Structure 1
């Protein structure tokens, strides 16, 4: 029996929808790639009010761009993230693009199970810039690699130095959890 996903899942295209429907009972809203109109944003806002929405875009530049546009317009949407390695095509004929259409059931389930609901804890404090610098996530030689690693391990996607404290707070990630996540970085 397929698991049921209650909120509408926003994806980039029909191949993403097809892969999700293979494994789940789910309704999707397709952005048709990087094209995102004002009407799309209005529909997503309405869907959020009626059923809830989880934004589940590809772990690449265009996917992050779409995620950011939706999140700025409808900040309460949920967020699900795939690790880049989970979105790689299994065959050489599938092309080289990363995508939800390439993920297996376990990766999709883990991402959707861990989806952030869109509501931040009321008293979640931002992790300070001093802490981020101490952990090598800002202003260091390998800061970008560390942020990429943290985004993968914590399943929150990549964030630049300016976005990182906000994203950590949005997901309710404490300094202790962040430090533990970085223990495996080499």
Structure 2
């Protein structure tokens, strides 16, 4: 697994990266980079590091510049237009897995063994799954930890990928319960 979180433009890019390598990804949604997305990227940079891999076109470069201005110290991975071209469309989603791996290697991506600290039993125990308020609790937890919103499976992946410790998790859960949430 790649230690750093890979930032891409859209869902199809996430699919292409995950086809190439095991990595946590953040899709910025094109030019729709809002403060919540920037906050998630900053948290990812602080915890694991970030590699930006955008399309080799004007829009991709503009998105890259926006992120670079707001999140210092990130790494950059590049593919060429030829590597991302398919049927007249240019984008990361069109790149072969070997091309994406090569771009990430050139960006000095760090490999690490993925540690599975959290699992579905944890979510059930803390009412983050299988409870009428599960979605609401996951949303609050995601905001508290800076890892964004997601379903149960996404939450487990982010907790493990972002290196969230049991202590951080418990502290956030206690804060949530202290705000009127009950277990």
- Superposition TM-score, scaled by structure 2 size: 0.57
> Is 1:12 aligned with 2:9?
yes
Provide the residue aligned with 2:39 in structure 1. 42
Q: 4+ residue stretches of structure 1 with deviation over 4 A? A: none
In 2, Cα distance between the equivalents of 1:109 and 1:9? 12
Provide the residue aligned with 1:179 in structure 2. none
| SS of alignment partner, residue 42 of structure 1 | helix
Of 106, 112, 120 in structure 2, the residue corresponding to residue 114 of structure 1 is: 106
> Is 1:24 aligned with 2:21?
yes
Question: How far did 1:109 drift?
Answer: 1.2
Of 78, 83, 105 in structure 2, the residue corresponding to residue 81 of structure 1 is: 78
Alpha-carbon RMSD across the aligned residues, in angstroms, is 1.3
Extract unaligned runs of 5+ from structure 2. 110-183
Cα deviation code 1:112-148 (max 9, x no counterpart)? 000167xxxxxxxxxxxxxxxxxxxxxxxxxxxxxxx
| Aligned counterparts, 1:142-157, within 5 A | none
In 2, Cα distance between the equivalents of 1:31 and 1:112? 18
Question: How far did 1:45 drift?
Answer: 0.7
In 2, Cα distance between the equivalents of 1:44 and 1:105? 24
Question: How far did 1:83 drift?
Answer: 0.9
In 2, Cα distance between the equivalents of 1:33 and 1:74? 17
> Is 1:52 aligned with 2:49?
yes
Q: 2:20, 2:98 within 8 Å by CA — same for their partners in 1?
A: no
Question: How far did 1:42 drift?
Answer: 1.6
How many pairs does the alignment contain? 109
In 2, Cα distance between the equivalents of 1:10 and 1:66? 10
Extract unaligned runs of 5+ from structure 1. 118-186
Question: How far did 1:38 drift?
Answer: 1.7
In 1, Cα distance between the equivalents of 2:20 and 2:64? 23
Q: Which fold has the larger relative contact order, with Cα–Cα distance below 8 Å and residues 6 or more apart in sequence? A: 2
| Aligned counterparts, 1:66-77, within 5 A | 66-77=63-74
| SS of alignment partner, residue 15 of structure 2 | helix
